[in-house]
Structure 1
Amino acid sequence: MKQIFPDKNKTGLTRELIDAMAPMFEQASAGAIAIDVDSRITWINQCYSDLLQLPSPSSVIGKEIWRVIPHTRMPEVVATGKPMLLDIMEHNEQQLVVSRLPFYDDNGKVVGAVAFVLYDDVQPLTPLVSKFRRLHQDLAAARKALAKKTRGTRYSLTDFVGASPQALEVKRRARLASGRDVPVLLLGETGTGKEVLAQAIHAASERADKPFVGVNLAAVPENLLEAEFFGVAPGAYTGADKRTRDGKFQLANGGTLFLDEVGDMPLP
Structure 2
Amino acid sequence: MFDAFARSAMGSLLVDREHRIVWISEGYRQFLPALGHAEDDFVGRRVEEVIPGTLMAQVVDSGQPILVDLLSNKAGTFLVSRLPLRDEHGEVLGAFGMVLLDHPESTMQPLIAKFARLQRELDAAHAQLAAQRRPRYTIASFVGASEVALQVKRQARRVAATDSTVLLLGETGTGKEVLAQAIHAASARAARAFVGVNIAAVPEALLEAEFFGVAPGAYTGADRRARDGKFKLADGGTLFLDEIGDMPLALQSKLLRVLQEREVEPLGSNRVERVDVRVIAASSRDLAAMVADGRFRADLYYRLAVLPIRLPPLRERLGDLEALAEVLIDDIARRSALPARQLAPDALEWLAGRAWPGNIRE
The verdict on how the C-alpha distance between 1:223 and 1:66 changes in structure 2, with shifts beyond 3 A counting, is same
1:144 paired to 2:124: no
Matches within 5 A, 1:1-12: none
Aligned-pair distance for 1:166? 0.9
Tell whether the 8 Å contact from 2:15 to 2:23 is kept in structure 1 after alignment: no
Tell whether the 8 Å contact from 1:89 to 1:98 is kept in structure 2 after alignment: no
Aligned to 2:239: 257
Opposite residue 147 of structure 1, the aligned amino acid is A
1:187 paired to 2:169: yes
- The 3-state SS of whatever aligns with 1:254 is coil
The verdict on how the C-alpha distance between 1:179 and 1:65 changes in structure 2, with shifts beyond 3 A counting, is closer
1:95 paired to 2:50: no
Matches within 5 A, 1:223-242: 223-242=205-224
Q: Count how many residue pairs are aligned between Structure 1 and Structure 2.
A: 224
1:212 paired to 2:194: yes
Cα distance in 2 for residues equivalent to 1:228 and 1:100: 34
Matches within 5 A, 1:60-99: 70-71=50-51, 87-88=70-71, 90=73, 94-95=75-76, 97=78, 99=80
Tell whether the 8 Å contact from 1:101 to 1:114 is kept in structure 2 after alignment: yes
Measured on the aligned residues, the alpha-carbon RMSD in Å equals 4.8
Where in structure 1 are there 5+ consecutive unaligned residues?
A: 1-13, 26-30, 54-58, 103-111
1:177 paired to 2:159: yes
The verdict on how the C-alpha distance between 1:170 and 1:87 changes in structure 2, with shifts beyond 3 A counting, is closer
Tell whether the 8 Å contact from 1:95 to 1:122 is kept in structure 2 after alignment: no
Tell whether the 8 Å contact from 2:79 to 2:104 is kept in structure 1 after alignment: no
1:159 paired to 2:159: no
Tell whether the 8 Å contact from 1:178 to 1:201 is kept in structure 2 after alignment: yes
Aligned to 2:270: none
Tell whether the 8 Å contact from 1:32 to 1:44 is kept in structure 2 after alignment: no
The verdict on how the C-alpha distance between 1:185 and 1:50 changes in structure 2, with shifts beyond 3 A counting, is closer
Percent identical among aligned pairs is 48
Deviations 1:106-144 (A, max 9, x none): xxxxxx979568547989999x98996686456324412
Tell whether the 8 Å contact from 2:211 to 2:229 is kept in structure 1 after alignment: yes
Cα distance in 2 for residues equivalent to 1:50 and 1:130: 27
Cα distance in 1 for residues equivalent to 2:224 and 2:77: 38
Tell whether the 8 Å contact from 1:35 to 1:65 is kept in structure 2 after alignment: no
The verdict on how the C-alpha distance between 1:130 and 1:185 changes in structure 2, with shifts beyond 3 A counting, is same
Cα distance in 1 for residues equivalent to 2:184 and 2:66: 45
The verdict on how the C-alpha distance between 1:135 and 1:115 changes in structure 2, with shifts beyond 3 A counting, is closer
Opposite residue 95 of structure 1, the aligned amino acid is G
Cα distance in 2 for residues equivalent to 1:251 and 1:66: 33
Deviations 1:193-239 (A, max 9, x none): 11111111112222222111111122334443322211112332344
The verdict on how the C-alpha distance between 1:66 and 1:73 changes in structure 2, with shifts beyond 3 A counting, is farther
The verdict on how the C-alpha distance between 1:220 and 1:113 changes in structure 2, with shifts beyond 3 A counting, is closer
Aligned to 1:105: none
Deviations 1:54-102 (A, max 9, x none): xxxxx98xx969799943888969x979685564465xx5336365688
Aligned to 1:109: none
Where in structure 2 are there 5+ consecutive unaligned residues?
A: 34-38, 84-94, 250-295, 298-362
Cα distance in 1 for residues equivalent to 2:63 and 2:13: 14
| TM-score in terms of structure 1 length | 0.59
Opposite residue 94 of structure 1, the aligned amino acid is A
